[in-house]
Amino acid sequence: MSVAEEDQQPSGYKRPPAATRFVKGRSGNPRGRPRNRHREIPYDTVLGQMVTIREEGRERRVTAAEAFILQLTRKGLQGDSAAARDSLAAIETARASRHTAGEGEIFRILIIAYGVGVALKRLGMGIKRNPLSKERVRWELQPWIVQAALDRLGGRVLTPEEQREVWIVTHQRDKVQWPEWWIEKG
């Protein structure tokens, strides 16, 4: 059939117009399917996503990879030996895959925490007791800060419940000069 005859052929269902038909011998997808397109797991895509984490009451956004490493490290520090091994393995893998010119570089990892506990520690107002135990961890106030707070009360007297709370969270209770009205001592 000649080109003129093809143009006069009817077009419709299962008969595309001659001008838009595929040319014989030429591919409709000249570049073809990319090789190895779906073989690798998209780690970079998944671990590069931003997630929200909560540290001591504050939220912040980090990559999924960073959140994963932080979680593993925290569990490892709390005594989970499997998490500690996995955390160290992840660090070693990251070191091995890193292509840097300088060998033996030293990196300083700084974990910034927020909250009242951090302020108590930084200002020397409190001591964290049993930091590795989730069930037993607590803060104790230094005697000087308790004394200063008692001096600020003036004529106000604390209830027995309030006295008990203050007594429990005070470190080195014998160094505090308790007021005469204080009844809770143990």
Same domain, 90 and 140: no
Question: Quick one: pLDDT at residue 47?
Answer: 75
Domain extent, residue 75, equals 43-97
Rounded to an integer, what distance in angstroms lies between the CA atom of residue 126 and that of residue 118? 9
Q: Are 113 and 59 a contacting pair, CB within 8 Å?
A: no
7 occurs within a structural domain: no
Number of domains in the chain: 2
Question: Quick one: pLDDT at residue 101?
Answer: 47
169 occurs within a structural domain: yes
Rounded to an integer, what distance in angstroms lies between the CA atom of residue 88 and that of residue 128? 27
Same domain, 48 and 93: yes
151 occurs within a structural domain: yes
What is the pTM (predicted TM-score) of this model?
0.40
Q: What is the DSSP string of 37-101?
A: TTSS--HHHHHTSEEEEEETTEEEEEEHHHHHHHHHHHHHHTT-HHHHHHHHHHHHHHHHH---S
Same domain, 124 and 80: no
**pLDDT average per 10 residues of sequence, the chain (186 residues):** 64 84 82 76 75 85 84 80 79 70 59 71 86 86 91 89 90 91 84
Question: Quick one: pLDDT at residue 4?
Answer: 59
19 occurs within a structural domain: no
